Chains A and B, each alone.
Chain A
Amino acid sequence: MNGMDAYIEYAISALLVIGGLFGLVGSFGLLKLRDTMQRLHAPTKATTVGVGSALIASMAYFMLIEGKTSWHELLITLFLFLTAPITANFIAKAHMHLAIREEDMPATGVGTDWATYDPEMEVVDPALLEPVQRN
């Protein structure tokens, strides 16, 4: 059992080191990369993997060494994985509207223009504004 504990400890340590390295690389990419769109790539992927690895390490530590089962980490992981793409999409949209003109965008290739530059896309459908018939 003692040897098994040592292996568990090695595995958790490896997860912690991997998570730390990914977090460091993600934050370093924020400084190093040249373009805002490239800088968007670094933290949204690498830091999520880094935090996910640290959370798995924490879950394994409490479950296998302390003997307490906890599901909080899984909740945090799920929440981060759900919200990271939404955040990245919003930041990319803000960057496009602030720094890139519509003429400079590459063609979409599907026959219609970029939806985020289309003024009609922001308008609420008039059918939704009409009062609901109640009987």
Chain B
Amino acid sequence: MKREKICPICKNNLEKGEAGFPFPRLPESYRYRKLAGIVHLTCLIESPEVEAIRNELTEVLKHSPYPLICQDGKILVLNHERDKCFLIYDFEDFAIFQVPHNIINEILNTSVEKELNLDINGFVKLLIDSRLQLKILKPFSNEEIPLSSLPLERLKIMLGDFLAKQKAEHTVKILINQIEKIYLQSRQSASRFENIPLPRINNKKFRNNNLRRGQVSYGTV
């Protein structure tokens, strides 16, 4: 299963430690479909067609089955509800990674240099340094991809609206739950009185007595 990785651009082998970008397999009609494979990061960035490549990748991502939360330039954030994570496609730096929902606040609110595991194994780490930059470290191949186009501030702005909306939705859910609880409690206390017999009213007498002269009663009396 292990095979040499040949960069589709320079046709050279991708050595261990060299930063590579897993170029996705694109639909048939797309121009850069031929680049599918592990591409040298430097080959991509130094390519004269780099902007066209970024545009094409961004275009395909818009048709993703996962909801697109936001797009800023050539950076897209998708929400993967099943895996409870954000998928970040940074085509400005050529990096794809996912951030679990439960650590997003930790990333956005940090003020000190920090290294966070993005997965259980620690295969991908996110280093938040003093210049508020994100880096992906792949420890087993010593691969380091600085996300120079995605400073923390930019990520904060990108996710800000979505997180605010999520917070509002969460608050609404809590309110609805509370209202439901109060309603159920009131129903329960009301049911206590259901077994108490109500005073019997003789319908016929009651209606006849309440009909004034000249009034017409409807229905069977």
B and A form one assembly: no
Binding site for A on B (CB under 8 A): none
